[in-house]
Structure 1
């Protein structure tokens, strides 16, 4: 089995290397914006858009001193490595493809300081010396990095990125691994706020609430930033402090999610999760001036708590980690999972009169509401699994998100 995996490390560049990396990321951002402007102008004039080959030809002219769509000249682009510049054109092509496939909005111009990065796609130009914790990149030379773990496999490409003043390197590798044999049984998972993830075996993961724990410090840092003169040195230092807090929140949340998903994927071969639409669940209730919303303050707090959990990232990590372990991830419809009695099958909103307690009004069965939800998710997943097998259809592999109403049809 062919496995592609990325290994991310913190870089320890010299001052000159940091200046060069800022220049290279700025050049990639500049090329992306100029190519986007060129495509928009061609569309406005009725011409067809250029493909990747046409944009690369235009890039060659820009590097040789030809005028840009904005009317400027940029011969300094020749100082940056050409492959990362071409990769920014590929990123633009991918953004257009996602837009036409209705997976994303129309491509927007990139801003300085946001997602600064550049990518080296040719492994022949890259060198990795793990013994000395260093790597070689064109026009940057040898760079030191914090070698926290071994890089496994053959290097395919390297991406250099900047976040909160710190530079990182992501090394994507490819290697052959033996076909894994899944370990463990099937499990259902109910996502929540009071309990982050409740399993159908009654175990659960407590919520981390990373944003909530750092909210007071973030508020003070943002208030201090608002009092500074924009673009002054004090303003830059205050902004860096806000960025560090945001980075801390994200790092803590990702670390927690990685540990939880790794444990689940290693101990269970088949995992059923609710097919939650996080965007719809966290939609604002403020309404409009003519039709103002109700309980806006409470809904705002609920939205903040939902987004603080990282449900989508949890499912994404489970997705590929189960595939690495040979397991399966199946998403089932979440309708009535917390209102259905697992004992007699009675469905009623009165079964869950409180947030935490479930009591069936038909048979009197009592249990924690999140545990009941996880049990119903497990049963719904097994019903879908049985229907697909009986129809000579294999269950969806990890990475396939199923959200139709097949479970309801099976029960009928």
Structure 2
């Protein structure tokens, strides 16, 4: 089977190369914003959507025009890729997978991509990579990039430049190891497994919250765009980068451990965007417990539930296993012993006590057990070709009839 994988390295560019990368990312940002403005103007006139081919012709006119001759200094392929990204953003919006495209802002997500592998040379022995109009750029060779090089993406984060090299290679179909496990996501416990073990939360943002607040307060007292303000802003960016790096490192280690030790992982199909919505409401209908809901939302987003599921999905496929997502309804209210469903079963956030049979256990463990049971049923129905898999709260006696 073919595997597409990206290897990310920190670049060590010279001063001229850093200036060129800032210029190239600025040119790509300009092309994206100009293309988005044209699409909006075209929509207001009632005309059809401008496709990539027509937009690429306009890019040629921008590069050769008298108003933006500096676009010629940037490589053309990254500019074309930016217009493809704009078309993909519109497609995701039309198919209701994402919000409407927004204009890019300087300093946020600065990046550009080289799509042609023939123009890129990777010298891993000497820890350097050749990029068009940048030349040979040194990088921190932390691990070997395996496979055939496909493209390279240059990005900036926390004042540092990085390169993500996507490769393609043939790998043997892996054989899964271990048994099936159910996972219940939470805040007090990041992930509770159906065998009773759990992963403690990292709370990366909470650990750096005080330092971030002080850095932001110091930045607010500086004159905007002054040298002191720029240094204070760089400090804030470094703290944000540390928060993200710690969270990603923890999620990668956790998902790697789960994918290597279990053949099937059953997880709740949580809609994080809906769960973390604000409770402020409107002027006419104000919300309730706004402060408490705001703290809960911050704690939920600090866990990285969506990124955890995304990483677990592709790592289970690499390991030859399966990841099954089940509806989370009543997973923590259903007794795994007598199957009685009641909100009174969960007396507190962590305590589960069945009002029917008296079964007592941690509520997160109960949720993980029910997720595992529903995952087994859903997987069996998918294999057998059932139209609609059962929900997590379905009784065992009903599962056989359902499948």
Quote the residue 1:111 is aligned against: 105
Relative to structure 2, which stretch is displaced further, 251-260 or 364-373?
364-373
2:125 alignment partner, SS class? helix
**Superposed counterparts of 1:256-335, under 5 Å:** 256-335=250-329
Residue 213, structure 1, aligned to residue 207, structure 2: yes
Gaps (5+ residues) in structure 2?
A: none
Q: Which residue of 2 aligns with 1:26?
A: 26
**What SS does the corresponding residue of 2:284 show, helix, strand or coil?**
coil
1:146-194 deviation per Cα after TM superposition (whole angstroms, max 9, x unaligned)? 0000000000000000112100000000001011111111110000111
**Cα pair 1:285 1:300 within 8 Å, conserved:** yes
Provide closer, same or farther for how the CA distance between residues 165 and 87 of structure 1 changes in structure 2, counting only shifts above 3 A.
same
Instruction: Work out whether residues 333 and 403 of structure 1, in 8 Å CA contact, stay in contact via their aligned partners in 2.
Output: no
Q: Are residues 1:374 and 2:379 paired?
A: no
Please say if residues 158 and 240 of structure 2, whose CA atoms lie closer than 8 Å, have aligned partners that are also in contact.
no
Does the CA-based 8 Å contact 2:332-2:366 persist in structure 1?
Answer: yes
Structure-2 separation of matches of 1:293 and 1:42: 39
CA positional deviation for 1:42: 2.6
1:89 maps to which of 83, 89, 92: 83
Secondary structure of 1:23's aligned partner: helix
Q: Which residues of 2 match residues 5-404 of structure 1 at below 5 A?
A: 5-65=5-65, 73-391=67-385
Residue 69 (structure 1) aligns with? none
Matched residue count: 398
1:182-211: CA deviation from partner (whole Å, max 9, x where unpaired): 111111000011110000111110011111
Per-residue Cα deviation, 1:107-129 (whole angstroms, up to 9, x for no partner): 22211111111110000010000
Between the aligned partners of 2:255 and 2:187, the Cα distance in structure 1 is: 17
Change (3 A) 1:28 1:153: same
Q: 1:283 to 1:130 in 2, by over 3 A?
A: same
Q: Deviations over 1:329-356 (max 9, x none)?
A: 1111111111111111111122111211
Deviation by residue 1:233-271 (Cα, 9 ceiling, x = unmatched): 221111111111111111101100000000000111111
Contact 1:5 1:173 in 2 (8 A): yes
User: Contact conserved, 1:383 with 1:407, CA < 8 A, in 2?
Assistant: no
Secondary structure, counterpart of 1:283 in structure 2: coil
Moved more, 304-313 or 3-12: 304-313
Distance 2:392 2:185 in 1: 21
* Residue of structure 2 equivalent to 1:396: none
CA distance in 1, matches of 2:74, 2:29: 12
Cα gap change, 1:104 to 1:391, in 2 (>3 Å): closer
CA contact (8 A) 2:10 2:140 kept: yes
TM-score by length of 2: 0.95
Indicate if the aligned counterparts of 1:118 and 1:159 stay in contact, CA closer than 8 A: yes
Cα shift at 1:403: 9.0
Q: RMSD of aligned C-alpha atoms?
A: 1.8
